[in-house]
Amino acid sequence: DRGNYRHFMAKEIHEQPEVMSRTLGQYLDFTTGRTALPAQLPFDWKTLDRISISACGTAYYAGLVAKYWFERLARISVDIDVASEFRYREAPLPQNGLAIFVSQSGETADTLASLRYCKAQGQAIAAVVNVTTSTIAREADVVLPTMAGPEIGVASTKAFTCQLSTLACLAVAAGRARGVLTDADEQALVSALAEIPRLAAQALRLEPQIERLAKTIAKARDVLYLGRGTSYPLALEGALKLKEISYIHAEGYAAGELKHGPIALIDETMPVVVIAPHDRVFDKTVSNMQEVAARGGRIILITDAAGAEAATVDAVETIVLPAMPATVTPMIYAIPVQLLAYHTAVIMGTDVDQPRNLAKSVTVE
């Protein structure tokens, strides 16, 4: 039931404060300010040699954000690949390895095949899935459910931010168990994560501005998305979301890769969406924006008040989100990115919930 929404996608975007709150409640104990993972994990964080993550599409981008978290917060190296590559790569896997599979449906053929490969190689298997009765959930050693509820729109939105929420809790738990984070660090991160539902609700209030901005995007032939650090996977996600539902060509790039090729595309007709919270890599992203501006590219900057103030470039539009700790930015910055794709698709008149050529669950390779 779509309720008062025109599309399931819109409804699912708007459900995010609530479903992320439910998901975080599953993995955090707000009374103690600690993470609360299932008691019996089929591996020991302290002796883990490496984590391998495999997934497809949007779920892969959630995994890519998690790589930054696990490496930074828990000092575990993470190998991540799209499942269709991973399954045929014959990757050598470590003795004490954890393999994480991220999937909304839990039925994606390539992700399942990667799981079976890792199992045969003696890895501990964790599944971050939305459908807990799925094959991937059944075959995993531990299931970490995302509590997004049924996702009907083919474009993944709330499943993505719930995957991120789950993976963030996992990375914080790993960091604490490995002694990289102190009790105080853990508590600070848990309080930051607890703010997500409120911040997500604030991000949704930017919808009228984004709806107006979508008119500009709808006129473009190509759109470039840039980001650094954990905003890089969001740039990839923004581009995927736009192509999948509006059929406008889009590319996501790590901002630093701009001068290694894509900068040649930039002219006055090219919108460049820059995802840049005022974090430790912000200044680097500003220099990339200057390169875009110098070539007449039309910058759409998604940032916070400090970023808007410090960005010394002319953006055609600046979307200003509230300030927040770096660990929570991916879950919140996803929202304007989703809304931009959604409203562009509505203007283009495409079938938003059932885009052409796509299936909700890809059960063949």
Catalytic residues: 360
Bridge partners (DSSP) listed for residue 117: none
The owner of tokens 């079938």 is 351
Q: Does residue 326 touch ligand M6R according to CB under 6 A?
A: no
- Residue 352 is a binding residue for ligand M6R (CB under 6 A): no
Q: Which is nearer to ligand M6R, 111 or 165 (CB)?
A: 111
Residues of span 142-171 touching ligand M6R by CB under 6 A: 154-156
Per CB under 6 A, 103 contacts ligand M6R = yes
Reported as type and span, the H/E element at residue 315 is none
Distances (CA, A) of 44 to 19, 164, 174, 217, 304: 29, 22, 9, 47, 38
97: Cα separation from own chain's centroid? 23
Q: Select the span of 57-65, 192-200, 259-267, 301-309 touching ligand M6R (CB under 6 A).
A: 57-65
The helix/strand/coil state of 114 is helix
Q: Does position 104 bind ligand M6R by CB under 6 A?
A: yes
CB of 331 to ligand M6R, least distance (A): 16
Is 345 among the residues that bind ligand M6R (CB under 6 A)? no
| 206 vs 362 by CB, closer to ligand M6R | 362
62-81 in b/e form (b: 16+ CB < 10 A) is bbbbbbbbbebbbebebbbb
User: Does 288 interact with ligand M6R (rule: CB under 6 A)?
Assistant: no
Q: Which stretch binds ligand M6R (CB under 6 A): 3-11, 55-63, 204-212, 338-346?
A: 55-63
> Which residues, 6 or more positions from 31, have their beta carbon under 8 angstroms from its beta carbon?
none
Number of Cβ within 10 Å of residue 283's Cβ equals 12
Residue 246 interacts with ligand M6R (CB under 6 A)? no
Site for ligand M6R, rule CB under 6 A: 56-59, 103-105, 108, 111, 154-156, 244, 361-362
